[in-house]
Structure 1
Amino acid sequence: MKLNNFFKLIITVVISELAGLIGAVFTTPSISTWYATLPKPALNPPAWVFAPVWTILFALIGIALFLVWKQDWKVVNPLWEKGRKAWNPWSERLWTGDLQRFNTIAVFAVQYLLNIFWSYVFFGLHRPGAAFFVIIALWTGILYTMINFYRISKLAAWLLVPYILWVSFAGYLNYSIWQLAPAAPQTMYCTQEAKLCPDGSYVGRSGPMCEFAACPSPVTLAVLSATIGQKVSGLGVTLTPLALLEDSRCPADVQCIWAGIVKVQVKIQSGAGESIMIFELDKPVTGSAEQIILAEVLPQPKGGVKIKDNEYIFHFEITKRPEAPAATSGITGYIHMGPTCPVERIPPDPSCADKPYANASLVATNAEGRQYKDQTDADGQFRLMVPLGRYTIKVSPINILPRCEEKQVEVTTKQLASVDISCDTGIR
């Protein structure tokens, strides 16, 4: 089917404008985002200029393509053909021989694809450096296309002059932006290691230096609510209100000269041991690793209305204290028992010397009533890690005897205090 010139013109213009439409897929999303943030050189036009300029240029390219197609790709303006031999048989065929038409179409197609590829590299990949080398290849392809078109239609070649001038200007902008833009950070690949955090979670390496990510911030406050006999836990501490000892709060509908107090007996269990403490409203109880406050007691009393024990709700606040030096301070000791022979011998008989008290249970209680429990080994030795403070050590006998002395010991430095405890077997 032979096409008339009108349809040829429509086809060539549409083909040319199609390059702009394909390039716009990469260009449009980046103009107002990534491109807007780049440092610009002098003479940089406003962003709105690009669309109409390229539309006009693609139309001129389409008309130029139509003019050479109209001439059936035949050379009518010989150029550099007289008085010169081809470099080789292939170049001769491409310039004046049977491949001349293929040469013209192929070079046009290459610069056409390079035009689209530049939009992809610059706006799609955000790589101004790589795009600059693409635009150099594009400029070369346009120049070669102009030479080929000139041999067929001088007007077609002149119609491409605005195109090559604009691409030259675009090359200047591309190079300037490449030089002004900050260097992209190098991709760093980190080893797949993991660090165990205090809360039991794991974090991996990340960031430009492959450092370990920060561990999650530890929870330092827990708010618990419990009734009499109800067990609640938070931050490694378990609280069980045992009994209401006193509630002398002023009723809400009565004017009093004293606010009154609330006292409740509470069992405290944690990794440091177990104790029973008396809590008063708004008065903190401090342990080795936490501070506990009875923050609120509900319901509020009313005049003439008695609150039943099972109606009370106690609100506790547990605050994690900074790490106490429990891991570096404590008490070490030796518990022994004697006499082991019914008659004291002179000189002393080594077989009747005091023996180690093995598997003896002991409790160290500090001034705040906090208890720390341990048990002796087969040699009667024990090692109890506790915070700084004064402690009373009691030994609980397995049977009625032996009867062991109580010892007072003070842990004053980040070291182990030593104590020797003697137990009476009752042998006489």
Structure 2
Amino acid sequence: MKNTKITWSISLIILLTILAFVFLNFYKDNRQTKPVEIPYNKDWKTFSNIEENFSFRYPETIGTQYIHLIDWPPQVQILDEEFSCTEGGSETARAGKTEKKEIAGRLYCVTKLAEGTAGSIYIQYAYAFSKNNPLSSETSTGQSKTIIFTFSLQFPQCLNYNEPNQTFCTNEQEKINVDEIIDQIITTFKFIENQNVQIQNKSGVKGVISTGPTCPVIKNPPEPQCDDKPVQGEFIVKSVSGEIEIKRFTTDANGNFLVYLEPDQYSIWSVKPLGIHNQSYLVEVTKDKISEYNISFDTGIR
């Protein structure tokens, strides 16, 4: 009788161990290995380029914990030429690897360039595609242009993490679908009406936003590499006190912006803190005039 009880106890322990093992692995697999998905939704931000008259929507994050966004939102280049794609190369070569890809029924020319640094691999992506500009006056159907979206991602070396983060990091890198993410963003790309023709009948502010200084010692004559750097990002127009949000706008890759406002005084803030503290800049809008400001956020580098 005693031996029978011992046998039943051992069998029960083994059974519970097996069930626990199956449950934990099922939970981990379903929790950590599912594909990274970024559904389009109303919380996406809008980027508008007033110089080249286009806009697109993008998510602030792509739902990853270990993979980091670089050069975000994507930078956009518009070429006045027909779409073409010359395949070849490799990801580690100087010009990267270029290949044609069909994603969700759209044809892309995708270039990937990988560069390794201590502890991480940085991959630069370029997605080129064809797009007609229905607002173009050059042809009745709209001139065909080549649009290129570029951005970079930082992939850490997962072996540098201890478990379980090492496994989580590896799973994330295996499951992320960069093609799907950028395709969802590109579907929101559109050409917009040229707003600059209205400048003389409107009031507002335009200019360039940058950060500086970028070198600890300012020399005379100045060194070009130490010039202030333009900022591409999202900014907020608030009341002078900073208590009331009036409007939001974005700058392009060169830091240029244009925002229409009623005549008054306002303060301009960055959505993401720039420099040594949360800074704001006072601007004044005059009736029927576009006031121009060059705004520099202090980096604190001395």
Same topology, TM > 0.5: no
Structure with bigger helix share is 1
Structure with bigger strand share is 2
Larger Rg belongs to: 1
Greater relative contact order (Cα 8 A, min sep 6): structure 1 or 2?
Answer: 2
TM-score by length of 1: 0.22
TM-score by length of 2: 0.30
